[in-house]
Chains A and B, each alone.
Chain A
Amino acid sequence: MSHPKREPLPIRALRSVGELALFFVRVLAHCVPALARPRLIVHQIYNAGARSLSIVMLSGLFVGMVLGLQGFDLLQRFGSEDALGIAAALSLLKELGPVVTALLFAGRAGTALTSEIGLMRATDQITAMQMMAVDAMRYVVVPRFLGGVVAMPLLVAMFNIVGLFGAQLVGVQLLGVDTGAFWSQMQGSVELNDVWEGIVKSGVFGLACSLIAVHSGYTAEPTAEGVGLATTRTVVASSVLVLLLDYVLTAFFL
């Protein structure tokens, strides 16, 4: 995967996008055969999902609490504190839940995926599999990719639930917003389309972050420096792509 160093940046960027697209096609082609080993995928859902759960829930709680504070401060100026439930729910479901979870996922699970696959390459484990006539794409890459894709929406759901609890904790318990108004306005105003927007975003972000993570690991230079660079690339590329895709999807849903 080494490219001539004097190649102009736009050409290199275009090449990287092309490589990623071809890699995605290869991953998709291996998805059906990989489903024959559900245990591998379940193990990766646990790795990417369950092991990220504590950090996602903790972050969700704090984000929800901040939403409670900021939302209350803003709505109070218009005498609409009772709408805090709607504000918190829509912010979490449509934006903060998917985006913040995706950024956390890139930092926690994405880097773990990249470094694990990169180290497997650096220590000849992937070559050893290929020499045993085992397709590393099917055994290593695709289960991790599918694990990430499945785990992300579940993590977003947990983030949203804990975030709403945090907003309620601050808004209702600390600042005195009416409990009934908080929940009933939320129930009355949040539409199915809002939920769908969050689900679609979390699916797309899960796919993007997982793809970048496994691609960076699989194409990492088999050295300590190469694995380090690949891990950094995963965080940077995933974060930028998540924010870009967020804009595109938001524009699409509006």
Chain B
Amino acid sequence: MSNSNATDLIVDVRGVEYSIDSRLILSGLDLSVRRGRITAIMGPSGSGKTTLLKLITAQVAPGRGQISVFGADLATLNRAQVFAMRKRMGMLFQHGALLTDLDAFENVAFPLREHTDLTEPLIRALVIAKLNAVGLRGAAELMPAELSGGMARRVALARAIAMDPELLIYDEPFVGLDPISRGVILRLIRQMNDGLGVTSIVVSHDVHDLAQIADDGYLLAGGKVVGRGTPQELLASDSAEVRQFMQGSADGPVQFHYPAPDLWAQLSADER
């Protein structure tokens, strides 16, 4: 991952620091995403994965460092330019985030209606094609409340690819899914990447799922990148932090206990 051409980089994060109030979430983060590849961003809960996505999509700005997406420094973009950049992205949210007052068809049609002047027959053809790609052409008229978790995420994926984005971002796409739905989503991520020629960023802590589809991987812990490489390289890593996460050990550099005073001292103080 080190000898990549600069024009090949879709996302380039350099020395990024981000904090909320006085709590440091990310510090000195370096990361890059190459064109046409699936990049997995892994890490335990609270390691800053979702915050990183918010930074890449310009929902929040870093306190320090530089983030470039499609070659443009996000700090130099105005609101209209950020919106133009987002039109080149598709994002799949943790629970789909479908618009609850629209059925599956209208959810997928939503970005097309907002951003294009396509005729109704053309919109219909595109939406049907996108829903077919995720296997839900037959569910076009269902409301979000009538969809299962896996189906909602597939409709959301159809919506995310409606505008034929260059970059697809998946935020915890496997959370709460049964093994079949999980397998379907995994296959779709790979298919979208290969079939549509997009670049993908997948944020998740499901190591073994990601190992099946990711080309590159980053492991975050404590707001820093503690491991990088292909999933196989990460699985074989000697680093204690990487090994703990990849093997799912309860104790290690990331401790089981949240920092607290000595147990006996606390109990004695409570008794007094």
Give A contacts to B, CB under 8 Å. 120, 123-125, 127-135, 139
Contacts and interface: CB of A to CB of B under 8 A. Distances in A.
B114 A127 contact: no
Interface in B69-96: 83-84, 86-87, 89, 91, 93-95
A125 B87 contact: no
Given A130-B59, A133-B115, A134-B114, A125 B100 contact: yes
Given A125-B99, A125-B100, A127-B59, A132 B110 contact: yes
Contacts of A128: 91, 93, 97-99, 156
Nearest to A129: B99
Contacts, number: 48
A100 to B, nearest CB: 30
Nearest to A138: B114
A131 B91 contact: yes
B95 A133 contact: no
B93 A127 contact: yes
Contacts of A124: 93-95, 97
A124 B97 CA distance: 5
Interface residue tally on B, bucketed by range: 20 to 34
A131 B86 contact: yes
Main secondary structure of the interface of A (DSSP, over half): helix
Contacts of A131: 57, 59, 86, 89, 91
Contacts of B94: 124
Nearest to B114: A134
A183 B97 CA distance: 56
A125 B84 contact: no
A123 B114 contact: no
A134 B114 CA distance: 7
A24 B4 CA distance: 48
A125 B97 CA distance: 5
Interface string B158-182: 0100010000000000000000000
A123 B97 contact: yes
B222 interface: no
B197 interface: no
B58 to A, nearest CB: 10
23 contacts: A120-B100, A123-B95, A124-B93, A124-B95, A125-B97, A128-B91, A128-B93, A128-B97, A128-B98, A128-B99, A129-B99, A131-B57, A131-B59, A131-B91, A132-B114, A133-B84, A133-B87, A133-B111, A133-B114, A133-B115, A134-B110, A134-B114, A135-B83
